[in-house]
Structure 1
């Protein structure tokens, strides 16, 4: 190849490396032109597949700031340049290699990070971007339906909920600030009531009359007898 042609080929490959978010290096030894055409179709619309010369590809990779592909650049080489979802291209390569074992996936890059052939196979086992987006849309739709069901609740039920919330907020204003409510205070045991002091005006009970037969009773009877004797003598 003439030097100007080589320079143009290197520049083109370097541009492909820069523009691609993923690249996969393969060995296509034994594939026919028809099979190569079939392989290009299996990669999807966001990937291209080009047969390359190893020497020029090494130079182009270095110009693009890539230094991890040199180990794969031996034998008949072809590169899949992916500009979009890499899962679709990885699935195409995996499925084609199953039907055509002469295709060998060597390794590649994904967003600048090196990928081994095993990692590319694992990438092919993932769901495509379209499938993931569809699942995400389904999940969001289900969430919206739940929200619609909530807003479509009967007005009477909504009114009861609002009234209950209002009463709870009146009892605990912290709820309005987004909190879970102020914890209820722990009730303290009532202190023992002090014994009431005896009233100063309380009337003391009158002393009981001495019982008959006691010394006090006998003294009273003696005094009464003496008084009666004095009166008789007088």
Structure 2
């Protein structure tokens, strides 16, 4: 990789990290290309990104972002997962770490806070932004459905009573 490619890589990673809400740093040792591709696909499907980086370049890219204090995590074969949603990258990384011994979460950052492995796992247990939105819509719709049911009940009861009287008159 020549100097201009390194500068472009650093600039792209810096822009991505500056826009991210959560960064997860992990070790990946011995992962095959197929495994890395699978993890990238899972991250992309969840709205997160995954990047294998050189530690020195990643530390340079962190400068000037809210995750500047994570530079101590970049030792060994590290990867970076990041997302705007504060749960998406943590959730996928935690699920993958449970399934694979080749992938180990080191820590990460949420805003200006540095999180250890347990902090990332705690974040992963929270519902995602989309799940929270779905719950909110469900809670908003439920009262409307109940009100409609309550309003229809008296009319239905009146109709049944009138139908019963009509049948009674026909029988008599």
Name the TM-score, length of structure 2 as normaliser: 0.78
> Does structure 1 residue 80 correspond to structure 2 residue 81?
yes
Q: Is the 8 A contact 1:51 1:79 kept in 2?
A: yes
Name 1:128's counterpart in structure 2: 128
Tell me the number of residue pairs that the alignment of Structure 1 and Structure 2 aligns: 154
Name 1:118's counterpart in structure 2: 118
Mean CA deviation greater in 146-155 or 115-124 = 146-155
Q: Is the 8 A contact 2:24 2:105 kept in 1?
A: yes
Mean CA deviation greater in 117-126 or 3-12 = 3-12
Name 1:96's counterpart in structure 2: 96
Instruction: Go from structure 1 to structure 2 and tell me whether the alpha carbon gap of 1:45 and 1:154 turns closer, same or farther (over 3 Å shift).
Output: closer
Q: Is the 8 A contact 2:106 2:116 kept in 1?
A: yes
The 5 A counterparts of 1:180-191 are none
Query: Per-residue deviation at 1:112?
Result: 3.6
CA RMSD of aligned residues (A): 2.2
Name 2:108's counterpart in structure 1: 108
Higher helix share: 2
Name 1:41's counterpart in structure 2: 41
Higher strand share: 2
| Higher RCO structure, 1 or 2 (CA under 8 Å, sep 6+) | 2
Query: Per-residue deviation at 1:77?
Result: 1.0
Name the TM-score, length of structure 1 as normaliser: 0.59
- Greater C-alpha Rg: 1
Name 1:30's counterpart in structure 2: 30
Query: Per-residue deviation at 1:96?
Result: 1.3
Structure 1's unaligned 5+ residue stretches are: 156-234
Q: Is the 8 A contact 1:23 1:109 kept in 2?
A: yes
